[in-house]
């Protein structure tokens, strides 16, 4: 039996379309430290960057199964932006905050092993940590 492809690129494209069709502006939160991320470093804060993925803010936007890339202006200078889909941490509508944060399981096989976090005893059990959503404004 074939292994199912990662869900993240499909969810990303669906949410992007839904936000756009709703008349809102899609923004993504990207892990700028992920290998293969080519983003304007001047706009990275705490290892993350928020990017406007609207069709009016980007040119040649392409959301493939492996990579997101586009051209956009930052302070009047055109940059080619490219990052792996696995680096996308979430997508939301700027106007409403509605959107989706992605779990590491959705990234697929290219995701590195989880970082060392709190010990299982600190989490109230030895089971896997559940994903948590939080509002990003």
Check: CB of residue 15 under 8 Å from CB of residue 100: yes
In Å, how far are 6, 88, 113, 132 from 104, measured between CA atoms?
A: 10, 10, 9, 11
More confident position, 48 or 125: 48
Confidence check: pLDDT of 91 > 80 = yes
For the entire predicted model, the pTM comes to 0.75
Residue 62 lies in a domain: yes
Check: CB of residue 92 under 8 Å from CB of residue 100: yes
Q: For the chain, how many structural domains are there in total?
A: 1
The CATH number of residue 99's host domain is 2.30.30.220
Residue 5 lies in a domain: no
Q: Residue 85: helix, strand or coil by DSSP?
A: helix
Which band of pLDDT confidence, cut at 50, 70 and 90, is reported for residue 134? low
Lowest-confidence region among 16-30, 35-49, 59-73, 108-122: 108-122
Residue 68 lies in a domain: yes
Which of 84-88, 109-113, 120-124 holds the top average pLDDT? Answer: 84-88
In angstroms, the CA 114 to CA 95 distance is 32
* Enclosing domain of residue 44: 24-108
Residue 40 lies in a domain: yes
Residue 6 lies in a domain: no
Residue 88 lies in a domain: yes
């Amino acid at each position: 039996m074939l292994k199912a492809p990662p869900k993240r690129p499909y969810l990303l494209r669906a949410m992007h379309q839904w936000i756009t069709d709703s008349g809102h502006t899609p923004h993504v939160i990207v892990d700028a430290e992920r290998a293969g991320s080519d983003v304007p470093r001047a706009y990275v804060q705490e290892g993350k960057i928020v990017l406007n993925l609207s069709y009016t803010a980007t040119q040649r936007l392409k959301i493939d199964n492996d990579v997101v890339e586009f051209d956009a202006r930052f302070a009047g200078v055109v940059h080619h932006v490219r990052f792996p889909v696995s680096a996308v941490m979430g997508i939301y509508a700027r106007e409403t905050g509605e959107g989706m944060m992605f779990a590491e399981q959705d990234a697929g096989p290219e995701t590195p092993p989880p970082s060392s976090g709190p010990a299982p005893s600190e989490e109230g059990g030895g089971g896997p940590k559940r994903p948590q959503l939080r509002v990003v404004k």
